[in-house]
Amino acid sequence: MRLSEFRIAVTDEFGDAYGRVLTRDLVLGAVGGLTADQAIKAGVAPREIWNALCDASDVPLERRYGVGLREPRN
């Protein structure tokens, strides 16, 4: 997942305004207690951040790939 795909997925799932709040303010234990924005700056892979954000927000598996993203390999 590229950073641009991460941004599309966040906006698609949470909306533009709420997505920005989540990435700025929600602390994600799965990425070392950082917010998504901090994790991006620290070099954490966008896919890892996206999965952590989805886990913390109870996003069902069937909605985790977002608009414009490739489907997972089987």
The pTM for the full model equals 0.84
pLDDT cut 70: percent of the chain above it: 88
Q: Which residues 6+ apart lie within 8 Å of 48 measured at CB?
A: 30, 31, 39
pLDDT of residue 66: 60
Nearest to 62 by CA among 47, 52, 72, 73: 72
DSSP designation for 20: H
Q: Where are the domains of the chain?
A: 3-60
Distance CA 74, CA 55 (A): 21
Distance CA 45, CA 56 (A): 17
Distance CA 1, CA 47 (A): 5
